[in-house]
Amino acid sequence: MNPCFAKRLFLITFCLALSACENDQNRSPVLNVAVASNFRAAATELSQAFSQQSGIEIRLSAGSTGKHYAQILNGAPFDVFLAADTRRPRLLDEKNLIQPNSRITYAIGKLVLWSPDQLLIEGQGLPDKPFAHLAIANPELAPYGLAAQQALQSLGRWDDLASTMVRGENVGQVMQYVISGNAELGFVSAAQLIELDDRGSRWEIPPTLHQPIQQQAVQLSNDDAATAFMSFLVDRSARAIIAKHGYHLP
């Protein structure tokens, strides 16, 4: 190879590497957040507000709390986990997989039985009218599914309604089943119904029928951006967003 050409090639390669390094340094940090399906809309608005304040980009991954928990155990590179229960965050804490003292309750969910049929659910209680399919999130994976199971058991209806149940992995899938007509009604989060206003019929399940749906967050990485986001979650502006999306505040 011509010595002059080799020298020129080295200088070009060096400049390209230096430019790439500078671009990496100028690029905004990205925070990977695992979020329970019921909290996806609220988390999206929270992420936008946090990014505007901090310049930190947030990448959300929505799914069932149980599935996220399994992914974290298998080394998924999440920085923060917004769960829909207290059990999985507590287990992660016990396994020393979270940052010390980072476990907080950020929201308390509301369980609702909902149908797009305006006349199916009348008053307080399960429908008297016949229905073929009742959608429910998998109680083993989704806290809202567990709360629905507990509510039906409290009412003495779990066994006799078992044959009608269509199970989704999370409340997001339950909502899809009901909207698509694959189930006439289903147990969802009140937060999922915010944009639907008064459409359909619903029964907000009395909290005495199930254990409280306390949703906890944990910080998984020691990244400064993750620490900043956890602090933001308890800020007044963040709490206002959470309440707006249909949650009780801790």
What residue ranges do the domains of the chain occupy? 27-108+212-244, 110-209
Give the pLDDT of the chain (250 residues) as one tens digit per residue.
444 434 443 443 444 444 444 444 455 589 999 999 999 999 999 999 999 999 999 999 999 999 999 999 999 999 999 999 999 999 999 999 999 999 999 999 999 999 999 999 998 899 989 999 999 999 998 999 999 999 999 999 999 999 999 999 999 999 999 999 999 999 999 999 988 878 999 999 999 999 999 999 999 999 999 999 999 999 999 999 999 999 999 9
Identical fold, 27-108+212-244 and 110-209:
yes
Count of Cβ atoms closer than 10 Å to residue 105 Cβ = 15
Query: CATH for 27-108+212-244?
Result: 3.40.190.10
Please give the Cα distance from 72 to 1 (Å, whole number). 51
CATH assignment of 110-209, given 3.40.190.10, 3.40.640.10, 1.10.3720.10, 3.90.1150.10? 3.40.190.10
Return the pLDDT at 19.
42
Strand partners, 35: 62, 82
Q: Which residues contact 57 (CB under 8 A, 6 or more apart)?
A: 28, 29, 30, 31, 51
